[in-house]
Amino acid sequence: MAEILLFHHAQGLTPGVHAFADRLRSAGHTVHTPDLFDGRTFGDVESGVAHAQQLGFGQVFARGVAAADELPTELVYAGFSMGVMPAQKLTQTRLGAVGALFYDSCLPVSEFGEWPDGVPVQIHGGTDDEWFAEDLEAARALADSTPAAELFLYSGTAHLFADSSLDAYDPAAAELVLERTLSFLENLS
């Protein structure tokens, strides 16, 4: 079973992020869900982004990277939207990454150097997600350049559609994300 460091999105560590992590735990995986916002959650992405700006994106980013300090190096790094930033940095810069799961976001690989050889990644995003549209080119580039990369696009979904506590939640698409995630994690063993 995998050990996963899962970072929340800009709306905070919501009940939906907890529920997603619990689904992974119920399949036997260990999931760490650090709270980068000290318990604060927000009703919309814009308010969460404003909070992250107030804290300083560098500070939020540093909190995410520091969350790995007390954990083993053999981790799967995962993140929803804003949480992809520390997940991707750790995948690319911390030795021992065994996989990566990016939901609703993907940064250009050049942000953190090269993609580590042999590290598989899944990227999940909505085709109708205005936020993910900004990252789609980077997601496609990563998928095209990395043999162990998969890009899954979900038609008709909004940003953060896999978070069951948000209005954007799409039960059918979220279930498919979970199925694909669990298959990815099983294949790591």
Domain 3-188 adopts which CATH fold?
A: Rossmann fold (3.40.50)
Contacts of 148 (CB under 8 A, 6+ apart): 118, 119, 120, 121
pLDDT tens, residue by residue, 67-76: 999 999 999 9
Contacts of 156 (CB under 8 A, 6+ apart): 126, 127, 128, 170, 173
Average pLDDT over residues 143-165: 95
pLDDT tens, residue by residue, 72-88: 999 999 999 999 999 99
Question: What per-residue confidence (pLDDT) applies to 48?
Answer: 83
Residues above pLDDT 90, as percent of the chain: 88
- Which of 44-53, 119-128, 139-148, 164-173 shows the lowest per-residue confidence on average (mean pLDDT)? 44-53
pLDDT category at 120 given cuts 50, 70, 90 is very high
More confident residue, 44 or 175: 175
Three-state SS sequence of the chain: CCEEEEECECCECCHHHHHHHHHHHHCCCEEECCCCCCCCCCCCHHHHHHHHHHHCHHHHHHHHHHCCCCCCCCCEEEEEHHHHHHHHHHHHHCCCCCEEEEECCCCCHHHHCCCCCCCCEEEEEECCCHHHHCCHHHHHHHHHHCCCEEEEEECCCCCCCCCCCCCCCCHHHHHHHHHHHHHHHHHHC
pLDDT tens, residue by residue, 94-106: 999 999 999 999 9
φ and ψ at residue 43, rounded to 5 degrees: -75, -15
Whether the per-residue pLDDT at 53 is higher than 90: the answer is no
Whether the per-residue pLDDT at 189 is higher than 70: the answer is no
pTM for the predicted model, two decimal places:
0.95
